[in-house]
Structure 1
Amino acid sequence: MFTLLLASLMTLAPTLPGTTPAWRTPFENDPAGNTTATYAECVAYYQKLAAAYPAHLHLAEAGPTDAGQPLHEVVLSADGDGDPASTRRKNRRILFIQNGIHPGEPEGIDASMMLARDLMQQKSLAKLLAGVTVVIVPVYNIDGMLNRNSTTRVNQNGPAQYGFRGNARHLDLNRDYIKQESRNAQSFAALFQKWQPDVFVETHTSNGADYQYTMTLIATQHSKLAPALGSYLQGQLLPALYKSMEQKKWPMTPYVDFEGQTPESGLRAFLETPRYSTGYAALFNTIGFMPETHMLKAYAPRVHSTYDFLLTMLETVGHQAPALAAARAKAATDMAAQTTFPLTWALDEAHAETVQFRGYEGKMKPSEVSGQPRLYYDRAAPFTRPVQYFNTFKATTSASRPTAYIIPKAWTEVADRLRRNGATLEPLTREVTAPVEVYYFEDFKTTPKPFEGHYVHSQVRLQTRTETATFQPGDLVVYLNEAAPVRYLMETLEPQATDSFFAWGFFDSVLQQKEHFSDYVFEDLAADLLRRDPALRERLEKLKKDNAAFAANGPAQLEWVYLNSAYHEAGHNRYPVARWLGTGRL
């Protein structure tokens, strides 16, 4: 009941104390607290801040988006230093906040406008910038923010109008961090690599069950982080965030995801693979967070809880700056020596912790639509009780680290993405013949319907062969040395990884044969092959003996002989990216 009372009070008083009318945001100017800024209002507000506080706030365009409008970068610092290299030399931590990836979830847009202003105008907050530089993307999905409506967030309690989840190409940008098809994602990658932040926050609103909390939290899955970072996250950063938010009267819970009918069945940690923002950030030893306010709470408390979360994050990063820096440095050192990398994960249901969950009783009543029993949450029956929280994942697929990957120059889309994300690709200057490891696809599963414009592959089964291959001048070599983004390279170029470039269909053309045979012609060739190759004949006979259906299928046997002959094209089902395990340089 405390949360409901707080929500009602904050709906009546959305303006922060001490804010003059001239600096109130569109959200604060609405007495009901049910308005979010338009894109034009948001940009104009930051322009006004930049003009008023040029010594501490820098606003710049940071690349194009699919909407045709530029992505913006806001940098807040103690001395106006907007240069990442200089910022690092000053031993300042970098906090990167991104808003509006789903513009129908706009709390972060409004909260960040208010926070940026207060960091400029309130001395007690300005001092927080002494050790932390804040980078804000005011709106990431500008395309969706311009598509303003009042209906698409059917489950959500305000604001009165808001943007749309998809961008101008109908892409969900929080599935685009690896494939980077949108210009938004391409501009973001350049900005992220420029700053290489210590902590990344992307603001959201949740869907799902009803409960007492206004704010829930997805943190980078600690099992997937480098051990030093995972230990720091679990042991220091998260406890401080939860404690501070509780003190600010915003008790938090882990993101409410579960498999049963109601949350009491047990909360399950969200596995944010690299297609998501926090999963992408983790590839570069950046700790990521998605604060998720609850959709059914009024808009004003959702904005204010987001404001307080961002403020809490800034305070905590500043207080824990030495520990955070040490954990990231240790993670980088350990990764430089790491030889095996996990690529796929599964929830470890043998390990669970207990959290005190503040929920509402889930009950059943007849549906007015169907007459069948339907679930509802009874807000007159709040509870606090222990709930299991499954928050450990285990690796299910791993791969060893090669010395280098060799990428034929024809695969320009892959090369462009690698360069954009910090990889150095060196073109061969001469023809090179070398022993390499090559993958052949034996099996995989593909989604029956397109997902974000792709038929995504999973459960990839590979055959690894060592071959002597010849590479041409202009083919690209990426060395996995200490300076390389090693984990990013492993999780995009190893085809069995969850969000590899193969998984997203970048190499689908090798899965289709380009040449085949006419049965009546190849019959005689196949017979001659079997006469001249007794070992091949023996393998065929064994297959027929072991598999009655195969023994009765003449075309299948002919196909088998073809696939095991020199007539079968070498590139079919052959992954084009080779793994070089040698020493030195090619």
Structure 2
Amino acid sequence: MKRLLSLILLFTSFPLLAQDLMPPLLPWSGQSESLIVEDSNPWVTPGELTDLTESPTYKETMDWLQKLANSSPYLEMKSLGKSEQGRDIFLLIASKSQKFSPEELAQENKATLFFHGGIHAGEIDGKDAGMMLLRDIVHGDKMQLLDKANILFIPILNVDGHERRSEFGRVNQRGPKEMGWRTNARNLNLNRDYTKVETSGVKAVISVLNSYQPDLYVDVHVTDGADYQYDVTYGYVKTGGYSPAISQFLSETFQTEVDQALKDWGHIPGPLLFAANGDDFSEGNIAFSFSPRFSHTYGDARHIPSILIENHSLKPFRQRVLGTYVFLEQAISTISSHHDAIEKAIANDQAQAKKELIVRFKFRDNPADTMDFLGIASQKLKSPNTGAEYVQWLGKPITQQVPSLLMDVPAASVNLPKAYYIPVEWTEVIEKLKIHGIEMETLTGPLEIELEFDFLTDYQLANQQLEGKVRFRSFETTPIQRKVTLNPGSVRVNTDQEKGILAALLLEPQSVDSFFQWGYFMPILSQTEYIEAYILEPMIVQMLGKDPELKQEFEAKKADDSEFASNPRQIYRWFYEKTPYFDQNWKVIPIGKSR
């Protein structure tokens, strides 16, 4: 009780908010400020009433959006399901034809933009920008955006984290005044969940991707970390991915048009920025190869043009929201103007030959190039508290030549089989494949078949859990051939399908975000049958008497391995593994492969 009272007193008497301690702010004004409507406008958003210094609660947001949807025949609002705490995850659909089902929209020759805000609920820029944009479409002068495009919008994805809001939501971000929490009610990070699909939010996103098959998917975030001049940074899988035609379109067409629009409206667009040394950009900017657990790389694996926006956390909420609005408006215009090119790129990537799959990437030995980096001056200071150096940002714009460090060199690859087989008893894995929309054939009767399996020869588990799961720190496998009988309900997953690459990334053990590496096959590590010494001793005598080669192998092992020779348990184990009584399924990853 005393500790609780102490904490309450500490928080209520906390001297300063983190926003009072942030680096100096560069002055900003831009044409996009004209997008904010007057307070007297009947459709002014709750955020605009505060000059975009605050963002509305879940209830305020949904009440306002439902009222907007009720006021226009071009909008429909529907629930995609419930969050872990029972809140609805709402989707808004904007359609000029007033048709809203996936089947109806699929019949239209129109581009479709799907975006959401608040996957990390404190990073809520997309919600307020989307509210303003939809308002200007149905009650302003931007209805023409719906002439050639349909819009899908989840205002708040992590709805439970959104309501865990306070002035202490995000320590390194300039607004809004109250910010939600990064993770959901079960403390899971939605943008680490796209392969394992443990959260209701990501299941909702994937249901939209499966049903509506958008031409562009945009996930709106706010950065952590360093200071620089850019206010809207964004990225996509440029190299080292699975959709090269889409990447080319995004690089040569989409980015060119969106960057120009942002500049015209007074913003400074930039690429995704990650300081190589973790502090400043003197040693370069890292272009990571994200794995498919993240939104935009998951989209790339599915051949969906996908963008990750990372607005700069040290810029004011007002500036970030307006930049997001400009980005989204231009994104709609661009995919409308180049709809045929997008469809062609998607088709080309879906038609790729599926023979070999890269499952892990590493950095290039040398920087790919250098970039003119619009940075902020900084200095290193020695902490009087720790004795270590830390970065202090000085609020003065500078231009630097910064090396670009690309992580796009293949580090591991696998040969794709014709099909994967998952036994019926691994129901959870089969259900997750269904959530992803992966095509499969369910066996209606028993099937005897010879398949290749991966046998674990060595492994180490991670010391710490990640997202509630224990992953593998390292492991080695060797292929084995086995004839098995699969029971009814088992599934066959053909790799020659639209989501064949995604299926392989989920089922190949070597893939960074495979179901195996996320720990869904942990029971195979447990050995559950044993043998007693009084049985094994006479059995060993018989084995050595009948098999001279085995006896020679045993004597050689004792001569070469003194620890083995002096350890009865190891000797018993060695012989036991050579009997047909030993568990034949132990450490065999139960995903069969048909070559």
TM-score w.r.t. structure 2 length? 0.91
In structure 1, the partner of 2:7 is: none
Aligned residue identity for 2:472? H
Distance 1:542 1:234 in 2: 61
Q: Deviations over 1:116-165 (max 9, x none)?
A: 11122333x32122222111111110111111111131112221112111
Residue of 356, 380, 390 corresponding to 1:374: 390
Alignment match, 1:421? 436
The 3-state SS of whatever aligns with 1:246 is helix
Query: Which stretches of structure 1, 4 residues or longer, exceed 6 Å deviation after superposition?
Result: none
Deviation at 1:536, TM superposition (A): 3.4
Partner residue of 2:536 out of 506, 515, 522: 522
Other-structure match for 2:355: 339
Match of residue 301 from structure 1: 319
Match of 1:28 among 37, 45, 48: 48
Q: How does 1:160-175 map to 2 (within 5 A)?
A: 160-175=177-192
The equivalent of 2:334 in structure 1 is 316
Give the corresponding residue for 2:574.
Answer: 560
The residue that corresponds to 1:471 in the other structure is 486
- 2:417 is equivalent to residue 398 of structure 1: no
1:432 match? 447
C-alpha distance 384-64 of structure 1, shift in aligned 2 (>3 A): same
Please tell me whether the aligned partners of residues 456 and 504 of structure 1 are also in contact (alpha carbons under 8 angstroms).
yes
3-state DSSP class of the match of 1:26? Answer: coil
Judging changes above 3 Å, is the alpha-carbon distance between structure 1 residues 378 and 465 closer, same or farther for their aligned structure 2 residues?
same
Partners of 1:237 and 1:523 in 2: CA distance: 72
**Conserved? CA contact 1:406–1:579, under 8 Å:** yes
Are the aligned partners of 2:236 and 2:297 in contact in 1 as well (CA < 8 Å)? no
Structure-1 separation of matches of 2:288 and 2:557: 44
Distance 1:479 1:366 in 2: 58
Instruction: Provide the rounded CA distance (Å) in 1 between the counterparts of 2:367 and 2:386.
Output: 40
Query: Offset at 1:2?
Result: 13
2:206 equivalent among 168, 189, 192? 189
Q: 2:39·2:48 contact (CA, 8 Å) conserved in 1?
A: no
Q: Is the 8 A contact 1:341 1:400 kept in 2?
A: yes
**Structure 1, unaligned stretches of length 5 or more?**
582-586
Give the 3-state SS of the residue equivalent to 1:97 in structure 2. strand
CA contact (8 A) 2:122 2:182 kept: yes
Kept in 2: contact 1:407–1:578 (CA 8 A)? yes
Distance 1:186 1:531 in 2: 60
Q: Within 2, Cα distance between the matches of 1:150 and 1:324?
A: 42
In structure 2, the CA distance between the partners of 1:104 and 1:174, relative to structure 1 (3 Å rule), is: same
* Equivalent residues of 1:3, 1:214 under 8 A apart: no
Q: Give the one of 452, 463, 466 matched to 2:467.
A: 452
Amino acid in structure 2 at the alignment position of 1:199? L
Q: Which runs of 5+ in 2 are unaligned?
A: 1-22
- The equivalent residue for 2:28 is 6
Residue matched to 1:361: 377
Q: Does 1:462 align with 2:477?
A: yes
CA distance in structure 2 between the partners assigned to 1:324 and 1:20 by the alignment:
41
- Describe the shift of the 1:323–1:444 C-alpha distance in structure 2 as closer, same or farther (beyond 3 A): farther
CA offsets 1:205-253 (integer angstroms, 9 cap, x no match): 1111111111211323432132222322333222333233222221222
Distance change in 2, residues 1:74/1:487 (3 Å): same
Match in the other structure for 2:66: 47
**Per-residue deviation at 1:297?**
1.5
Report the secondary structure of 2:314's partner residue: coil
8 Å CA contact 1:10, 1:300 repeated in 2: no
Does 514-523 or 567-576 show the bigger shift? 514-523
Residues 560/259 of structure 1: CA separation in 2 closer, same or farther (3 Å cut): farther
- What is the Cα deviation at residue 563 of structure 1? 2.3
For the structure 1 residues 354 and 121, does the alpha-carbon distance in structure 2 shift closer, same or farther, using more than 3 Å as the test? Answer: farther
State the distance in 1 between where 2:407 and 2:298 align. Answer: 19
Paired residues in the alignment total 572
Q: Which residue of 2 aligns with 1:265?
A: 283
Q: Secondary structure at the match of 1:212?
A: coil
Name the counterpart of 2:232.
215
- The 1:237–1:542 alpha-carbon spacing in structure 2 relative to 1, beyond 3 Å, is farther
1:492 partner SS? helix
Summarize the Cα distance change of 1:538–1:398 in structure 2 as closer, same or farther, 3 Å threshold.
Answer: farther
- 2:70 is aligned with what amino acid? A
Separation of aligned partners in 2, 1:147 and 1:440: 45
Match of 2:524 among 491, 505, 510: 510
* 1:410-466 Cα deviation digits (max 9, x unpaired): 111111111111123333222221211111112234221111100112544211112
Tell whether 2:492 aligns with 1:492. Answer: no
Helix, strand or coil at the partner of 2:27: helix
Letter of the structure 1 residue corresponding to residue 445 of structure 2: R
CA distance, structure 2, for counterparts of residue 345 and residue 538 of structure 1: 44
Contact 1:205 1:295 in 2 (8 A): yes
1:10 touches 1:301 (CA, 8 Å); kept in 2?
no
Once residues 129 and 287 of structure 1 are traced to their aligned partners in structure 2, the CA distance between those partners, rounded to angstroms, is 20
Q: Distance in 2 between matches of 1:323 and 1:237?
A: 11
Alignment partner, residue 325 of structure 1: 343
